[in-house]
Structure 1
Amino acid sequence: MSVYLLEDRQRAFGELMEIKELLASRGWFPATSGNLSVRVGPVLDGQFRFAVTASGKDKSVHTAEDYLMVDENGQPVEATSLKPSAETLIHCEIYKATGCGAIFHVHTVYNNIVSDLFGDEGAIPIQGVELIKALNIWEEDARITVPVLPNYAEIPRIAELVAEAIVPRVPGIVLRNHGIYAWGANAFEAKRHLEAFEFLFEHTYRTRLLGR
């Protein structure tokens, strides 16, 4: 059984509060959308716990009921009236497939537009942009493809596609006309990756407008 200390739980809640406040200030959580999670404690025999944002909360404000703890199947592990965010199952699959420490999911205009532009191709191609280096990809004129998954109404249908879709060196996937999931070894790295993806998506969109 995966275990965690109370102080680890509170530290995770604090990290989520800080990143939620920052990303909300950028307008990346419109209409209560998006969700954030941080893994708490070790992974033991495939079992783990993570702190995740509660469903239906206005992420531009802070309350005492913004987060809860869930297990590797997305089920609450403490007595609570809160429900985890709707896409928690997708977080579960990303943790299982990557062993990462944090996952951030936001909805922006740019990630929605480019996911639709390249949705039929199944991936967003990006090449030769400096911010690719923020993903720990350092070769000259690097090219990446960010996977795009269909935005099914039934979250389990999406979740079962996640593991196979992940590109090991690209710490993100996009749901078509929905939003980006970016992850990292910890909250700092996940934030850096998320910001890099959002820059790359805007760059891709504006480059298309220029006919390039």
Structure 2
Amino acid sequence: MATAVNGGVPLLSSQAYLESTAVKETRGLVSELCRQFYTLGWVSGTGGSITIKVHEDSIVKRQQLIVMSPSGVQKERMVPEDMYVLSASGEILCTPVKKPYPHRPPKCTDCAPLFMKAYEMRDAGAVIHSHGLESCLVTMLHPFSREFRITHMEMIKGIKGHGYHDELVIPIIENTAHEGELTESLAKAIEDYPKATAVLVRNHGVYVWGDSWINAKTQAECYHYLFEAALKLHNLGLDWSTPLHGSIHNSKGYEYTNRQQAGSVKAQLQNRNPVPEPSRHCIILDIEGTTTPISFVTDVLFPYARDNVRKHLTATYDSAETQDDIKLIRAQVKDDLEKRVPGSVPIPSEDSGKDDIIKCLVANVEAMIKADRKVTALKQLQGHIWRTGFENKELQGVVFDDVPEALGKWQATGIKVYIYSSGSREAQRLLFGNTAHGDLRKYLCGFFDTTIGNKRESRSYSEIYQSVGVDKPSQILFLTDVYEEAVAAKAAGLEVIISVRPGNGPLPDNHGFTTVTSFTEV
């Protein structure tokens, strides 16, 4: 055992600890996985890399040592002695012995600064960098897209925080001539996509991280499966990003499912009789007053959250999820107090009594609900409270009767449908997943909430345009009942229709937008 300090915690930089069983086993594990990944085609030609933290129960993860594979070494021939050992801050503590010609002098992986970002920003236990061909090719399907999206595939369940019905979104960053130059863009992607456990590098490969080496390996296998599935579906002319994986509409606006159909369309184009390009490739739907009566939100959902917030906070106070909710509420209240927002009251410090903290949290949440605040902190907490209501069958989602038929029609014609609401994405999924018409999530490609931006700001719609895989913002139709949202979306270049439903607020005179009273008119 290594030299110990502080009641048995090993001195990590000591030679004794560097030669300990835990470090040796981790070195051996990295070399074993490199050989396995070589057979999968993930680390051929000395490309790709892997790093794992040295697990010790007595050492917090952020202080654990790091083992990394070297650069420029045949991965299938690696041995434990080839590995580098680094401190938690990235300082090299142990370097491999130089080998005779034709081996190169030892060098730590060029991925090291990128690996460190995953450790620092995600508290990862292991990171895998793969050059698997499918992870490279999948970034070329849409050369200008900044994201890879896929939904309704069983293996999505293997990705942390995702289920079968969810849309898996992986950011794509642009490649550079040297690996280390990717560090800044990788860090930005990690920051911008807090739910992601992978980042694709265009024409290059993928970085995948997990809480442990097992979790990272499992997710990497699932990601590669999903990349390969997308490529094969693309070859069949099928859309991997929609729930039913129907035929792809290509950039000229026609469908193709096999070579014969593609040839037929080519002949039409040569005869100067092209199929007209559809004006809408994507529809974005608001919820309140558009798909769902305002009364359901104001008379059912809001009162349920208000009446159950104290019970929810008390029952789940010590959970990581609720502590995260409280952290967001604290930040929002701090900002509200500085701006003197009516109804906001100071929240006691974290070391105060639980009952006192909950009392002030409830007061702030009730004030936010009463004022119909569209802030992420409130919407996230409400979503978690509503989840309990849906699980206990105390709540059931409500949509207008024309909505399910329209969703099915749009999907059948290849139009992607998304939701954009001030309610959290979890709340959106709960509403559409538990309706009297059944689970409507099968018709939806994804969900956006205010984490992408305020609904009355045009840049929010520009961000959505960049995310849904269309060539022009005018190919997106946005349906809302709120005039200010319509103005913002139009400013971003989207087509806009205003929904006029029972109970909706009045519109300005001469507002200039097309209106509908039912989705059957769209």
Q: TM-score normalized by structure 1?
A: 0.89
Amino acid at match of 2:221: E
In structure 2, which of residues 71, 79, 99 is the aligned counterpart of residue 63 of structure 1?
A: 79
State how far apart, in whole Å, the 2-side matches of 1:23 and 1:107 are: 10
Point out the more displaced range, 190-199 or 11-20. 11-20
Residue 125 and residue 79 in structure 1: after superposition, are their counterparts in 2 closer, same or farther (change >3 A)? Answer: closer
Q: Where does residue 43 of structure 2 map in the other structure?
A: 29
State how far apart, in whole Å, the 1-side matches of 2:44 and 2:28 are: 22
- Is residue 2:174 matched to residue 1:150? yes
Question: Does 1 or 2 have the higher relative contact order (CA < 8 Å, sep 6+)?
Answer: 1
Point out the more displaced range, 153-162 or 25-34. 153-162
Q: Where does residue 161 of structure 1 map in the other structure?
A: 185
- Is residue 2:202 matched to residue 1:202? no
User: What RMSD in Å do the two structures reach over aligned CA positions?
Assistant: 2.3
Q: Where does residue 97 of structure 1 map in the other structure?
A: 121
Structure 1 residue 75, shift from structure 2 partner: 3.9
Q: Any idea what SS the aligned residue of 1:121 has?
A: coil
1:11-160 correspondence runs (5 A): 11-40=25-54, 42=59, 49-63=65-79, 65-72=81-88, 74-80=90-96, 82-160=106-184
Point out the more displaced range, 73-82 or 135-144. 73-82
State how far apart, in whole Å, the 2-side matches of 1:164 and 1:64 are: 33
1:183-202 correspondence runs (5 A): 183-202=209-228
Q: For the Cα contact (< 8 Å) 2:67–2:84, is it kept in 1? A: yes
Q: Which has the larger radius of gyration?
A: 2
Unpaired segments of 5 or more residues in structure 1?
none
Structure 1 residue 47, shift from structure 2 partner: 5.6
Point out the more displaced range, 71-80 or 120-129. 71-80
Unpaired segments of 5 or more residues in structure 2?
1-10, 98-105, 239-522
Residue 127 and residue 80 in structure 1: after superposition, are their counterparts in 2 closer, same or farther (change >3 A)? Answer: same
State how far apart, in whole Å, the 1-side matches of 2:189 and 2:41 are: 28
Residue 98 and residue 118 in structure 1: after superposition, are their counterparts in 2 closer, same or farther (change >3 A)? Answer: farther
Q: For the Cα contact (< 8 Å) 2:158–2:222, is it kept in 1? A: yes
Q: For the Cα contact (< 8 Å) 1:146–1:170, is it kept in 2? A: yes
Identity across the alignment (%): 24
Residue 140 and residue 24 in structure 1: after superposition, are their counterparts in 2 closer, same or farther (change >3 A)? Answer: closer
**Deviations 1:126-163 (CA, angstroms, capped at 9, x unpaired):** 11111010013444421011111111124343111222
Q: Where does residue 459 of structure 2 map in the other structure?
A: none
Q: TM-score normalized by structure 2?
A: 0.38
State how far apart, in whole Å, the 2-side matches of 1:142 and 1:79 are: 44
**Deviations 1:173-193 (CA, angstroms, capped at 9, x unpaired):** 111111111111111111100
State how far apart, in whole Å, the 2-side matches of 1:64 and 1:40 are: 14
State how far apart, in whole Å, the 2-side matches of 1:140 and 1:106 are: 24
In proportion to residue count, which structure has more strand?
A: 1
In proportion to residue count, which structure has more helix?
A: 2
Point out the more displaced range, 129-138 or 65-74. 65-74
State how far apart, in whole Å, the 1-side matches of 2:22 and 2:91 are: 19
Amino acid at match of 2:208: A
